[in-house]
């Protein structure tokens, strides 16, 4: 199936200028692959690939958290994985930072739903999957990102039409994926740098975009359900809930799912 919009991803037009940033100095684009995270994991064997980004026009086995699938027709989305082989951030802070950067990429109306979703007008427009690989040099992190761009209402599966959307649907325009991809890499680079020197700034940005802060939510943590009021986020320990039972508890992203 050919790309429906005239913005095929071109590595030479996406990659960052040498010396200008870390993320995106190396960019690879596949017309189709099973999963960009799996490709990035192969490159993670070599620490010198720090900052490499793998894009794909189509994924045949893209995945999200909890083994969910990420479906997208060719040329409709930003599908990419960012490899970090030398990152001093802990997983919780890196996850928050990535969410803030993706939201900033999409625009001022984008909101963050912890731990890994970005919403537009109450519907999911993007998702993030953070994975790690241990090697002799240390831990490599892979940030998998999917952003819905050109999908139209008629192309969204019927069972997702009330919960999923795209940039084109919400803005009633046609976004340019090359410009979006360049902005994504720049935002990630900038916010990861911010997080290394001022993690409180990342928390502040997250709080401004959170759709859960101040609301009552239910979580599933290690198969147990917890309900309470979301009162904040901790860059080390995760989401903070004032439980209905009275206690304050932290929930890390790796072991927690938001109940439907």
CATH of the domain at 247: 2.30.30
Q: pLDDT tens, 11-37?
A: 999 998 877 789 999 999 999 999 999
First and final C-alpha spacing in the chain: 34
Q: What distances in angstroms separate CA 2 from CA 5, 32, 173, 240, one per listed residue? A: 9, 12, 20, 45
Residue 254 DSSP SS3: helix
Q: Do 223 and 106 share a structural domain?
A: no
Q: Do 128 and 73 share a structural domain?
A: yes
Q: Do 246 and 194 share a structural domain?
A: no
Q: Do 182 and 221 share a structural domain?
A: no
In this prediction, residue 10 has a pLDDT band, given cuts at 50, 70 and 90, of very high
Q: Do 104 and 130 share a structural domain?
A: yes
C-alpha 48/C-alpha 160 separation (Å) is 40
Overall average pLDDT of the 117-144 stretch: 96
Mean of pLDDT over the chain: 92
Q: Do 106 and 78 share a structural domain?
A: yes
Q: Of 63 and 203, which is predicted with more confidence?
A: 203
Q: Do 168 and 45 share a structural domain?
A: yes
State the pLDDT at residue 169: 96
Q: What distances in angstroms separate CA 220 from CA 134, 210, 228, 244, 260, one per listed residue? A: 27, 19, 12, 15, 10
Task: Assess if residue 6 is contained within a domain.
Answer: no
Q: Do 221 and 138 share a structural domain?
A: no
The candidate with the shortest Cα–Cα distance to 39, out of 102, 116, 118, 133, is 133
How far does Cα 13 stand from its chain's mean position?
22
Q: pLDDT tens, 100-112?
A: 999 999 999 999 9
C-alpha 113/C-alpha 99 separation (Å) is 9
**Consecutive H or E run containing 97:** helix 91-106
**Consecutive H or E run containing 182:** helix 177-197
**Residue given tokens 């995270």 in the structure block:** 37
Q: Do 175 and 199 share a structural domain?
A: yes
Answer yes or no: is pLDDT of 3 > 80.
no
Mean pLDDT lowest among 16-25, 93-102, 166-175: 16-25
C-alpha 255/C-alpha 260 separation (Å) is 16
The range of the structural domain enclosing residue 47 comes to 11-209
Task: Assess if residue 1 is contained within a domain.
Answer: no
């Amino acid at each position: 199936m050919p790309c429906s919009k005239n913005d095929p991803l071109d590595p030479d037009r996406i990659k960052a200028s040498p010396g200008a940033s870390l993320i995106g100095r190396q960019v690879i684009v596949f017309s189709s692959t099973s999963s960009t995270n799996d490709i990035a994991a192969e490159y993670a064997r070599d620490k010198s690939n720090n900052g490499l980004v793998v894009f794909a026009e189509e994924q045949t086995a893209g995945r999200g958290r909890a083994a969910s699938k990420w479906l997208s027709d060719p040329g409709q989305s930003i599908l990419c994985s960012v490899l970090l082989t030398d990152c001093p951030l802990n997983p919780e802070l890196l996850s928050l930072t990535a969410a803030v950067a993706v939201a900033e990429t999409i625009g001022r109306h984008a909101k963050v739903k912890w731990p890994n979703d970005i919403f537009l007008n109450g519907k999911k427009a993007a998702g993030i999957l953070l994975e790690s690989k241990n090697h002799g040099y240390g831990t490599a992190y892979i940030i998998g990102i999917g952003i819905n761009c050109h999908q139209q209402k008629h192309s969204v599966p019927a069972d997702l039409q009330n919960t999923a959307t795209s940039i084109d649907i919400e803005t009633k325009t046609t976004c340019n994926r090359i410009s979006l991809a360049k902005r994504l890499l720049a935002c990630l680079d900038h916010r990861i740098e911010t997080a290394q020197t001022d993690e409180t700034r990342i928390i502040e940005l997250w709080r401004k975009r959170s759709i859960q802060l101040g609301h009552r939510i239910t979580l599933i943590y290690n198969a147990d359900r917890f309900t309470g009021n979301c009162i904040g986020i901790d860059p080390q320990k995760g989401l903070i809930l004032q439980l209905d039972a009275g206690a304050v508890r932290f929930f890390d992203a790796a072991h927690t799912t938001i109940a439907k």
